[in-house]
Structure 1
């Protein structure tokens, strides 16, 4: 009899875990408040890992929308798959996950690692703090900026994740002495209970010139440096190992700091993509993408690269004018290899396009829900939208 009761309890527990794992992370976070028992169940490593596994099988699109008053609003929607039939146009409604009030601080978007979003004050706002938020649970926390940051210095920060040690780290680089062009490199580790910055050594003086992207525990970003053998400023890709806190550097002729250059995660490897707009005739315009993918991520300094070139015609963008992509149209690449392109203004009809390189097809997805969430305020003036592909919800909460 006892054995039967044990089996029944086990089946009931598995059933509850299965049901709860199908819910959005924000709903699960609310259920933690039901009771201590529910909180203990939902915080068990087995359930959090089970939830993450199931969430990974249904990746979503994440949208960070700038609003009035320097506020930020975060939305998610299902990430469509390119259908096998001829239907290449869809409509998807995005759900609001959380709103973050900027207040009197001019917050700028700095990056993402795992499911955490990193916001920092404008370069002139040196007396403010850094914000780490988790849209899937509605959680956020603040971090102090490095003490050395003052109104004479320029600084840039990145958020990285160590998948082995399970630690998030913030890398901050400050151009503290403009005359000598000397930079300082500092690290802050989340989850240790210590919010103190510590200095680290970098063998090559450099200052970032782009946002960063974290792939398999390595943080990549474009940076400028001075080379004695070459006149003027040169550009490279910096590879920062989040776990070992060591730097490596990639020098290639195709690396340059231009508005049309983006670092992307291409199926788990670093990719560099550039784009150009071609006007063949008054009625025929296209977008040309050049993609370089590193072959050996373990030896980035000496690795060879694969190169691809794609042309997408304006007619494939479901009637959208390619001129609307002049800002930064490349969102990223899905795990299945679709290159994702988007418009940037939430005050206008907003589109995300999935380009399949193998079939040369484009899936056009209109994203709805931005305006309704802010009662039409987004229509007053243009509002920037940042889009992220393959967003996976994680139940691990932010700890300091």
Structure 2
């Protein structure tokens, strides 16, 4: 008996990848081409073919892209207007135009309404989301039991309901098709300080919290979903005014009692409760802009510059970068982000991501 081979279907259908000319290009060149594209384009190419998707979602390309983005952090500005329009805009930390004004350098940015970097997102006019610092390119805003998670680089935002719990219990949500809040256990009963932002480093989310009636450093491992606590120095200024910042890749707590020097407590080893203290003396606001201007400490750039932003937000908006080594002040002016009534948030460590929510 002869073995009869099954005939293939001749319905004209073919695998999409067979028509993809990208397959014939050497892998090294494919990666080089993708790395030159903006994140929004990469996110769309995920759905162009299985071949492209396998490259873009692969561990090698993902880590390569994130490494490059992390070495080129951007400023991220959120503008909330009373009409319910939320504008998200990121721009490079490199200088565009500069001049010398009042004995300090001035860098000006003008945000073009037609710039592709700007993302317009219409929110509920009755809800003013307060955003937390970006983590691996994503930002999260919360107001009451409502929460929005978005990727400013792709323009994708997702609003979800948050199951508010007024207690020391904790909830997490994993982004994906089946998004649902779930409770997790914590061996260290604590309360997060409202209004204080955390930072993410090496897969661990760090934030300040009250633990055993002391200000402590909490860490939440994003992969194992386990908590750990680190004791902080028993220093009055740190316990009363300490604010967590990422300083040259190290966990740092900065504290300033109204005016005067800023104390920087640096943890050299995340596995040890050993902190080193330095003090940075900054010039008074009156010396730069006069006594009428009020500035608040906002963080430290990878360059070591200390950031201050005015309160309330002026028009045009600006912030100051003070270099403690060179004793120089740099003013960064951002035009085109709103009027005098706009509520503005600015973050200084945003990295671009092509992640699809």
**Short-chain TM bin:** 0.7 to 0.9
Indicate how the Cα distance of structure 1 residues 222 and 199 shifts in structure 2: closer, same or farther if over 3 A, else same: same
Counterpart in 2 of 1:359?
Answer: 326
The one of 220, 225, 229 aligned to 2:206: 220
In structure 2, the residue matched to 1:239 is: 219
Superposition map of 1:89-238 within 5 A? 89-94=106-111, 95=115, 96-103=117-124, 104-122=126-144, 126=145, 129-146=146-163, 149=164, 174-176=165-167, 183-191=168-176, 193-209=178-194, 210-225=196-211, 227=213, 234-238=214-218
Match of 2:238 in 1: 255
Q: Distance between the aligned counterparts of 1:322 and 1:19, measured in 2? A: 52
1:334 to 301, 305, 323: 301
Q: Normalising by the residue count of structure 1, what TM-score does the alignment of the two structures yield?
A: 0.68
* Ranges of 4+ aligned residues in structure 1 off by more than 6 Å: none
Structure 2 runs not aligned, ≥5 long: 1-20
* 2:90 corresponds to: 76
1:231-253 deviations in Å (ceiling 9; x for gaps): xxx43332333333122132322
Residue 156 (structure 1) aligns with? none
Q: State the secondary structure of the residue aligned to 1:118.
A: strand
CA deviation after TM superposition for structure 1 residue 30, in Å: 5.1
What is the distance in 2 between the residues matched to 1:107 and 1:394? 22
Structure (1/2) with the larger strand percentage: 1
Matched, 1:26 2:6: no
How far apart are 1:384 and its partner, in Å? 2.6
Normalising by the residue count of structure 2, what TM-score does the alignment of the two structures yield?
A: 0.76
1:307, 1:193 → 2: CA distance? 47
Structure exhibiting the larger radius of gyration computed from Cα positions: 2
C-alpha separation between the residues in 2 aligned to 1:201 and 1:48? 31
Which whole-Å deviations, capped at 9, do the CAs of 1:79-137 have from their partners, x for residues lacking one? 03699x98822212345521232214342224432211111123xxx4xx321111011
Q: 2:354 is matched with which residue? A: 395
What are the ranges of 5 or more consecutive residues in structure 1 without an aligned counterpart? 1-5, 150-173, 177-182, 228-233, 279-286, 372-377
Larger RCO (CA within 8 A; separation ≥ 6): 2
Aligned residues: 322
Match of 2:251 in 1: 270
Structure 1 equivalent of residue 5 of structure 2: none
- Which secondary structure does the structure 1 equivalent of 2:356 belong to? coil
